Amino acid sequence: MERPAWAPRSIDISVPSVSRIYDYYLGGSHNFEVDREAARRAMEFLPGLPKVMQANRAFMRRAVRYAAAEGITQFLDIGSGIPTFGNVHEVAQSASPEARVVYVDHDPVAVAHSEAVLDGDERTGVVAADLRKPHEILASPQVERLLDLNRPVALLLVAILHFVEDADDPYGAVAELRDALAPGSLLILTHASYEGIPLPAERAEGTVGVYKDIRNPLIMRSRDEIARFFEGYDMVEPGLVSMPRWRPDTAPEEEDPWAFSGFAGVGRTA
């Protein structure tokens, strides 16, 4: 298999990666045949997966614009993946030129590619770290250089928590991050769920099986389980809803039915 110039030497390009599969769903070019094959297998069960990812991105952009309108100029995006058009720093900096953004991912391809895209941008940074170890993120030189944790921060956990198993204590990680942030900070979150998928759960389980096969289990949580991530936050209207229903730019009725798979919400610390 030919190794493209953008692929770091250290990575095994014969193993699928969640962030490259996501890149493929969004129509990106930073993925390998092994990623495309896994994506196609997942789409045999849930053909609307690209629509779900597009709805994720559209929600993220609306939520970042909301945060900027609320006067927040600091963004911490954990599980940021491979940069694609309309990333957090582009949306945030177009709304507020002084916005600072730190991207965090544990996928070496996502990190290397982010560093290349952001080279020379003094107001952004990239951290190679894992959501399951919040202290490593918070103590990173990039966070210390770019973010003032005594002022409000928008924390983005978009399409990431459903890759953290209960045994790895995702609730504890989210609480640790919450406790490190100043009052008035925002949590911007999306999460996969069987609720809202326009097919029986049995069909969706096939996709869950594909992610299990590539050793990146996809954890489908219920709305109540997802709501628990917002403990210690006041929900911003309209609360925890399907992605197209969160402060939409266009009528949700016009959205593809697949876009309503899973939940999105924004919370504010008191």
How many distinct structural domains can be found in the chain? 1
Q: What local confidence, expressed as pLDDT, does residue 94 receive?
A: 94
Q: What is the pLDDT of residues 169-187, one digit of tens each?
A: 999 999 999 999 999 999 9
Q: What local confidence, expressed as pLDDT, does residue 219 receive?
A: 96
Please say if the pLDDT value at position 4 is more than 80.
no
| Nearest alpha carbon to residue 204 among 190, 218, 222 | 218
Asked if residue 55 belongs to a domain, the reply is yes
Asked if residue 59 belongs to a domain, the reply is yes
CB 19 within 8 A of CB 103: no
Q: What is the pLDDT of residues 70-117, one digit of tens each?
A: 999 999 999 999 887 789 999 999 999 999 999 999 988 899 889 988
CB 240 within 8 A of CB 270: no
Asked if residue 161 belongs to a domain, the reply is yes
CATH code at 151?
3.40.50.150
Q: Rounded to two decimals, what is the model's pTM?
A: 0.95
Helix, strand, or coil here: 202? helix
Tokens 């720093």 correspond to 89
Asked if residue 43 belongs to a domain, the reply is no
One-letter amino acid at 10 equals S
Residue 244 belongs to domain spanning: 50-199+221-269
Asked if residue 264 belongs to a domain, the reply is yes
Q: Find how far residue 202's CA is from the centre of its chain.
A: 25
Q: How far is CA 115 from CA 31, 204, 206, 217, in A?
A: 17, 35, 35, 27
CB 30 within 8 A of CB 109: yes
Please say if the pLDDT value at position 1 is more than 70.
no
Mean pLDDT taken over the chain: 94
Q: How many CB atoms lie within 10 A of CB 210?
A: 22
- What is the average per-residue pLDDT within 182-199? 97
Q: How many residues does the chain have?
A: 270
Asked if residue 35 belongs to a domain, the reply is no
Q: What is the pLDDT of residues 212-268, one digit of tens each?
A: 999 899 999 999 999 999 999 999 999 999 999 999 999 999 999 999 999 999 999
Residue 48 CB partners (closer than 8 Å, separation 6+):
198, 256, 257, 258, 261
CB pairs under 8 A, 24+ apart, for 8-13?
A: 8/108, 8/109, 8/112, 10/108, 11/108, 11/109
Asked if residue 31 belongs to a domain, the reply is no
Asked if residue 212 belongs to a domain, the reply is no
CB 69 within 8 A of CB 95: yes
**Phi, psi torsion values for 191, nearest 5 degrees:** -155, 140
DSSP state of 166: G
pLDDT band at 197 (very low <50, low <70, confident <90, very high): very high
d(CA 263, CA 16): 26
Q: Name the helix (H) or strand (E) containing 263.
A: strand 263-269
Please say if the pLDDT value at position 3 is more than 90.
no
Supply the Cα-derived Rg of the chain in whole angstroms: 17
Q: What is the pLDDT of residues 11-60, one digit of tens each?
A: 788 899 999 999 999 999 889 999 999 999 999 999 999 999 999 999 99
